[in-house]
Amino acid sequence: MADSVTLALEPALPAAAQWHAEGVAITPLGPSARWSLRLPEAAAERLQRVAGFRIAMEINRSTCENDKLATRLGPDEWLLCAPQNAAAELERLLTAALNGAPHALVDVGHRYAALAIEGRHAPTLLAAGCPLDLHPGTFGAGAATRTLLGKAEIILWRLHDAPAYRVECGHSFAPYVYAFLREAAREFA
């Protein structure tokens, strides 16, 4: 029997769970390094960037630069994501960059799982369980926020103009979120 640490490190969804139909694709994303950053607004404005992450932005906005994602979820809260293979070096750089600033930096890499939802029907698929207005004029490129998908809390990102979204959810909710999306996507199969 696997111990709890081994189970926590296993992917929530295998890469083979990728699903696509005409105009929509659901792709489980591999492990990512993730940090929750709490920082006073004045410090964020002063720092502008931390270890290559741009943090000076409006609430519910995101940036993607050099495989590093950052979103500002609240007045003093950010979620930072990067490739897993860069985690140790980035954590060292984040800690050094924040030295002297009042902050909390917590590794939350194993708390979340992520899915990519792409294609022209992606907004319709997400609308099956998400109460947000996903019209590009309302939730356009660079938007990110906490919301719900069905009964699961998610963080929804729209990274660019094409209908492509990143869904971050609790690791234990990933099978539910994936199954919800697959069920909602039956109309496109």
For residue 131, the Cα-to-chain-centroid distance in whole angstroms is 18
Residue 34's nearest CA partner among 131, 163, 157, 149 is 157
The hierarchical CATH code for the domain 1-31+109-189 is 3.30.1360.120
Which residues of the chain are in CATH 3.30.70.1520 domains? 32-108
pTM of the complete model: 0.89
Range(s) within the chain of domains with CATH label 3.30.1360.120: 1-31+109-189
The span from the CA of 30 to the CA of 61, in Å, is: 23
May I ask the CATH class of domain 32-108? alpha beta
Q: 163: number of CA atoms within 13 Å, CB side?
A: 17
Separation of alpha carbons 63 and 147, rounded Å: 18
The per-residue pLDDT string of the chain (189 residues; one tens digit each, 9 = 90 and over) reads: 333 333 343 567 776 678 988 899 999 998 899 999 999 999 998 899 999 999 999 999 999 999 999 999 999 999 999 999 999 999 999 999 999 899 999 999 999 999 999 999 999 999 999 999 999 999 999 999 999 999 999 999 998 899 999 999 999 999 999 999 999 999 887
- Copy the structure tokens of residue 77: 């809260």
